[in-house]
Structure 1
Amino acid sequence: MDYLERAIAPKFNEIKPFSLVEAKTTRLSNNVPLHLINAGDQPVVKIEILIKAGKWFESQDGTSFFTTKMLREGVSEKNSNEISVFLDQFGAFLELNPSADYCNISLYVLTKYLRDVLPLLSQIIFEPTFPEKELVVLKNIKKQSLKLDNEKNNIVGAKLFRKALFGGNHPYGKELKPEDIDLIDQKDLVKLHRKRFFKDVEIIVSGKVDGNDLKLLEEHFGSFNIKTEEESYIQFEPLSDDREVCIEKDGSLQSTIRIGKLLFKKNHPDYIKVLVVNEILGGYFGSRLMRNIREDKGYTYGIHSSIVSLRNEGYFVIGTDVKKDFTQATIDEIHKEINILRNELIGQEELDTVKNYMLGSFLSNVTTPFSLADKFKSIHFHGLTYDFYKDYFQTIKALSAMEILELSRKYLDIDSMTEVVVGGK
């Protein structure tokens, strides 16, 4: 009888060449781009409508959030309850996700019911009524949510960190306040909707679909007059010379820590290489920060670093929550691990482990049509092609220990980083 020797790690299996199911792009008769990912065995489809109507495009704080969230609260023939009942009878699920860059409307439904729900989806996006009663309710809910969020160190820390990086008036740095919500009324939502929801619209369809389904999309989305326009970008406020922000909270038992810096977007030539540097430092469960600060010191349940790629900017951030007494010690250990990465060559075994983990994770995340759609969005909205993923594998495989050292010295200078603590030291 063969036994599994658990004291010996299994051997790495070499990642073999792969090919992704790529999006095929056509245009509706009104010139709206339609990106199709026809994949999967299950008769399910996801329709995503992406509109440039986020914080970048609002003249009054909060209007993009409320305009997006209010879409499902009423159309000419149905109120919010009737919309919900109608979608439920077909097992359809509607998501409304506002962000700084986009308004994202996603509908999940069985392919056979696409004909039934597309007319309503079209009305929700292009013909909402924004009923005042529901707006009052949503505003009150959001204000209560903000109040609760502002009592949570991790949420306050994330807000303060983005504000420190981008400035309080920048779309990526501004924070919605209760007084902003009080100023919003129905007319503001109607105005933003008319101004932005008929411009720069794109549709992504993923799942099992055929030509008849595409005809339905043309029928219900191809008749609207959709325009495109050049974007205008907001300039950054200068960063403060003070790179440390500490909010003392006497009753807090824990502190939130955020350390990081502005970096670059996904189209930067060093982006993929720096992803590997990040993974080594704090990007996965076996990272150096996790081994030191969680496993060895026991200061936290988890610590993570990441490269955040927004449409117009990117940044690097380390985040964790620790017992208040361990705050400074944790910061010291973070600095220590960064300095080791900047001054000592990584061992080949550790580097191979990280490389295999990253490549294996990538392949495990492209097994469904919806994940393939996410991979398409990840490149398309950064002006990249599928060559990015070929470069991803080749670059990671070829990256050397010396390059890791050089990249760490170039981009992980502690003196250039912003440090935010909420709770206290």
Structure 2
Amino acid sequence: MTATVARTATTKRASRQLEEDLRRIGADLSSSAGADISAIGFSGLAEFAEPLLELVNELAREAAFPVAEFERERRQKLEEVKMQRTEPGFLANERLRKVLFGAHPYAQVSPSEAQVAAYQREDLSAVYREFYTPENGALLLVGDFDANEMLPAAEKVFGKWSGKRPETPAAPAPANPRGRRVCLVHVPGAVQTQILAGCHAITRKHPDWVKLGLTNSLYGGAFNSRLVMNIREEKGYTYSPRSSLNALRQHGYFSVSAAVRNEVVAASLTEIFYEMDKLRSLPVPEEELADAQNYLSGVFSMGLATQSGLLTQLSVMAVNELPDDYLETYRQKVRALTPQDLLATARKYLDSANMQIIAVGDRAQIESQAALFGELEVYDAQGTRLS
């Protein structure tokens, strides 16, 4: 909410004036926030760079947090939070994060209705004052411009901004669940089940990041991956199975998801773990490895071909404090990997015996199937434990 309301007005420009000034120079401006970062995104013509930077500077330093905009956003946030409770994907992700992270802040993916209702305008402005500082931020610019002109313009606009990096409060260590555990989130009458299984993994700074990224691509991270070929193409259990590496700044985790028919929950989980164990048992054939390397390298290259894609990668580098040669060396590292590298990586990180399983669906339809895979806990959509 802080990022959204901060975008609406400054102490010098009311909301309407802000929008008019953006239209006058043909610029777009947005704001966003996630588990690790808040961002002000903007785009416009290079010839209007200085007035656009001045506007961004105001938002970063002098956001006004108008009462009317705060109240409107709080109402919208309340509706959003209510709607999330009807979305199986959200419920699965929320429960998995709680299981994996316990008392760590990463365990909370969204506030409760009560928390949103209790928010005050002053709460947002306090967060803004603490975290929106130059020592805690980075200015990333991508485009067809003369750096010898753009850098002095940026220095002119932002040069007098001062402020310290906020202290990072000590956070409890994430939970470390061992052995399979099944959490069933009961949604009465659900005609399909959302499966999400996961375990702790690594961050982007870890030396095994590229290895695990390619292993994930082979397993379920690409359209022609083993998991997709198995439970979508061959068995028809689901339309969109997928595995992911979720790289939060302090801790990472691996997850695999699929929305399946109620009657094939057990069969789907069996195949999910079969493909995982297979990667841990046998080296990947050279031809399959080459295809995966070409795919991952190609996706990375395509991501750098647009301004927005390049900006995203630069942001990833800044937030995760990656080395300056990350963009130049990533594809080389992918292509240098061997079948033995991936076998060792799968054995190290993809342990089906310790996967935490979330199943969101109708308890009466899926409980007996879910219970086959580990100790079972049952919750309702509000997060209250039922058994």
Shorter-normalised TM range: 0.7 to 0.9
Distance verdict in 2 for CA 1:379–1:128, change over 3 Å: closer
Could you tell me which residue of structure 2 aligns to residue 371 of structure 1? Answer: 309
In structure 1, distance between residues paired with 2:153 and 2:328? 34
Query: Residue 81 of structure 1: which of 7, 13, 16 is its match?
Result: 16
Cα deviation, residue 248, structure 1: 2.0
Deviations for 1:45-82, whole angstroms, at most 9, x for unmatched residues? xxxxxxxxxxxxxxxxxxxxx22111122223432233
Q: Deviations over 1:355-412 (max 9, x none)?
A: 1111222222212343223222323332321334455334322322233222222221
Say which structure is richer in strand.
1
* 395 and 119 in structure 1: CA distance in 2 versus 1, 3 angstrom threshold: closer
- Give the counterpart letter for 1:215 in structure 2: P
Aligned to 2:381: none
For each residue in 1:66-121, what CA deviation from the matched residue of structure 2 results, as whole angstroms up to 9, or x when unmatched?
22111122223432233223212322111111112111111111111223333222
Quick one: distance in 2 between partners of 1:84 and 1:390?
39
Structure 1 position 131 matched with structure 2 position 66? yes
Q: Report the counterpart of residue 38 of structure 1 in structure 2.
A: none
Q: Which structure 2 residues correspond to residues 243-392 of structure 1 after superposition, within 5 A?
A: 243-392=181-330
Separation of aligned partners in 2, 1:237 and 1:302: 29
Matched-pair contact (CA < 8 Å) for 2:247–2:253: yes
Structure 2 CA distance for aligned equivalents of residues 362 and 190 of structure 1: 38
2:128 to 167, 173, 193: 193
Please give the alpha-carbon distance, in whole angstroms, between the structure 2 residues aligned to 1:220 and 1:123. Answer: 10
Q: 1:73 to 1:372 in 2, by over 3 A?
A: closer
| Residues 205 and 321, structure 2, Cα contact 8 Å, conserved in 1 | yes
Higher helix residue share = 2
| 8 Å CA contact retained: 1:256, 1:321 | yes
Q: 1: CA distance between counterparts of 2:92 and 2:205? A: 28
Deviation track 1:14-35 (CA, whole Å, cap 9, x = no partner) reads xxxxxxxxxxxxxxxxxxxxxx
Structure 1 partner of 2:161: 224
> Residue 280 of structure 1 aligns to which amino acid in structure 2?
L
Of 370-379 and 149-158, deviating more is: 370-379
Structure 1 unaligned segments of length 5 or more: list them. 1-65
* 1-structure distance, mates of 2:153, 2:212: 43
- Matching of residue 238 in structure 1 with residue 159 in structure 2: no
The 8 Å contact of residues 201 and 226 in structure 1, kept in 2 or not, is answered as: no
Amino acid across the alignment from 1:222:
G
Partner SS, residue 212 of structure 1: helix
Matches of 2:176 and 2:212, distance apart in 1: 23
The offset of 1:221, in angstroms, is 1.2
Give the gaps of 5 or more residues in structure 2: 367-387
CA distance in structure 2 between the aligned counterparts of 1:322 and 1:402, rounded to whole angstroms: 33
Percent identity reads 28
Instruction: Give the superposed CA RMSD.
Output: 1.9
CA–CA separation in structure 1 for the residues paired with 2:258 and 2:162:
47
Shift of 1:229: 5.1
Q: TM-score, normalised by structure 2?
A: 0.87
Within the alignment, does 1:122 sit opposite 2:57 as a pair?
A: yes
3-state SS of 2:106 partner: coil
Q: Distance in 2 between matches of 1:74 and 1:268?
A: 40
Q: Tell me: CA distance 1:115–1:398, structure 2 relative to 1, closer, same or farther (3 Å).
A: closer
Contact 1:207/1:370 (<8 A) preserved: no
Equivalent residue letter for 2:13: K
Q: Which runs of 4+ in 1 moved over 4 A?
A: 239-242
Letter in 1 for 2:71: V
